[in-house]
Amino acid sequence: MKHILMLGTGGTIASDMTEAGLAPNLTGADFLSFVPGVRSLCRVDCLQVCNIDSTNMTPGHWLRVARAIEDNYGGYDGFVVCHGTDTMAYTAAALSYLIQDSPKPIVLTGSQKPIHADITDSKTNLLDSFTVACDGRLTGVMVVFGGEVILGTRARKTYSKSYGAFSSINHPVLGVVQDGHLIPYLTPRPGEGGPHFYRSLEEKVSLLKLIPGASPAQLSFLLEQSRAVIIESFGAGGVPAGDQGEFYHRIRQAVAQGKIVAMTTQVQNEGSDLSVYSVGHRLKSDLKVLESYDMTIESMVAKLMWALALTQDPTEIAQLFYTPVARDILCQPQS
């Protein structure tokens, strides 16, 4: 029988109703009494890493979860991380960079309703997650939610209340769980020699979402506070007024100072392409800003934090950024 470690972090699945709304209270060990079917699948141990609303999740918590998995890696066949839904995609992406090429499954799950509610998705999601963790055909970091198995670097919360809260962005789902059985569609294999663990992240990464009329001063402020800034632009990508505008000139100054500027798009599907329009073309050709292509924003944030913790050299950071990790980027940049 497989031996699985369940790590609790809080979230809706662990919440009780208070006068101020739902707040995490239950521990991972409490969950098992609600889902007795797990005991027929595997032996389970529980470890409570934290007990917070996932809105309060930070890169420091990501490191604690990753370190807990690293410290216990040899003693278990797989891992289930119970997490709040609001930032689960960020945590899944971060763990994908902190724990690379894992030959064991690392499954994140949670729920839209607390586990003690009369009508809840928590019990199904938990049982599905243990089913995937025990099966072993899918490895590495995954999100299991609403019956779907999503690659950790591709998950995004796309519904705030519905049970099928998560979508796989620019990548097919890895499989589905039906009637207690995993049906894998894709079985990407980890790289050789794994797992590879990393223990640090650079938190000075910021995100600027452009709106019509956005001020270049907002970008300057973020560049002063950060080592890297992601600009979430419109459509295929670009900045207002292109290479004739103030945004362009401030980016040029930042790049000359060794800052990292990366471009992405507010459009959820199909990714960016800075070469299409003049407002984006010279950002890539002259300033060598990084570009998301088909990578999610969640993965961009986590990957830059990971890369910046490894080196300060912009060339090396770019190389790390464009090197695929856990199928986070499929569209390769043109040389």
The pLDDT value given to residue 163: 95
The pLDDT value given to residue 220: 96
Q: Based on the domain organization, do 306 and 190 belong to the same domain? A: no
Residue 193's CB: how many other CB atoms inside 10 A?
Answer: 8
Angle 213-216-221 (CA atoms, 0-180°, nearest 5)? Answer: 130
Residues spanned by the domain of 174:
2-197
**pLDDT, tens digit, for every residue of 38-70?**
999 999 999 999 999 999 999 999 999 999 999
Give pTM, 2 decimals: 0.95
Q: Based on the domain organization, do 17 and 151 belong to the same domain? A: yes
Q: Based on the domain organization, do 76 and 164 belong to the same domain? A: yes
335 lies in a domain? no
The pLDDT value given to residue 309: 98
**Looking at residue 170, which CATH number applies to its domain?**
3.40.50.1170
332 lies in a domain? no
The pLDDT value given to residue 332: 67
Residues of the chain with pLDDT under 70: 15-24, 332-335
The pLDDT value given to residue 29: 77
Q: Based on the domain organization, do 172 and 35 belong to the same domain? A: yes
**Chain length of the chain:** 335
- Asked about 124 being catalytic, the answer comes back as no
Q: Based on the domain organization, do 275 and 179 belong to the same domain? A: no
Q: Based on the domain organization, do 209 and 315 belong to the same domain? A: yes
The pLDDT value given to residue 19: 61
Please name the residue that has the structure tokens 């049906």: 183
Of 9, 12, 87, 124, the active-site residue reads: 12
